[in-house]
Copies of this chain bind each other. A is one copy, B any other.
C-alpha cells in the first residue's frame, strides 16, 4: 500500500495516543486507553527534500483504524502559514473523511478513498479521519517551504467531529 520509492524513506514519524491527548473530545476514554497502552494512531513516511519553495514534500500517512470513545482516529490537523499554501491529499487505500476548516471556523467534509483527490485550498486547515475498519493510507503533497500552525487546532479544535453512534457514522 505504501507508494514505492527507489530510495528508502528518510523520515518515519509515529503519532501515538499520548501525542493526541488534547485533541480527542472524550478525555476519560483517552485516559482509560493510556492506562493500559499507548497505541500508534498514525505513521508518516516522508522522503527528504530541501525545505525550499521549488521543492514539494510528499508524505505517506498510514492512519490506523480505531476509536477513542465514540470518535474515530484522526490526524492532528493543521493550518499552513508563510506561505499559506495548498495541500493535495490523495487516497491510496481505505475509506475516511477529510475535514476542511477555514480561520472563521467554518468546517466542511470530503470523502477520502483510493484514487480520490481532496484539495485543501490556502487558508484551510485539514484533518483526516479514518471511518473504516482498515488502515486509511493517503499521500499528502505541499510546498516544502510551508509553515505549519498546529496551535490553532490544539486550542480551538475542529468544529466537526466524526463519531460512531448506534453503529452509524455520524458528523457532530
Contacts and interface: CB of A to CB of B under 8 A. Distances in A.
Contact of A58 (B85, B88, B113, B144): B88
Interface string A65-107: 0000000000000000001111110101000000000000000
Contact of A117 (B4, B49, B122, B143): B4
Interface of A: 1-6, 47, 49, 53-56, 58, 83-88, 90, 92, 110-111, 113, 115-117, 119, 121-122, 139, 141-144
A6 B110 contact: yes
Contacts of A143: 53, 56, 143
Q: Which of A4, A53, A84, A87 has the most C-beta atoms of chain B within 10 angstroms of its own C-beta?
A: A4
The 7 closest A-B pairs by CB, nearest first: A54-B122, A3-B117, A4-B116, A56-B86, A54-B85, A58-B88, A141-B141
Given A4-B111, A90-B90, 19 more contacts: A1-B115, A2-B115, A3-B116, A4-B115, A4-B116, A6-B110, A47-B119, A49-B86, A49-B121, A53-B83, A54-B84, A54-B122, A55-B86, A56-B85, A56-B86, A56-B142, A58-B88, A58-B119, A92-B115
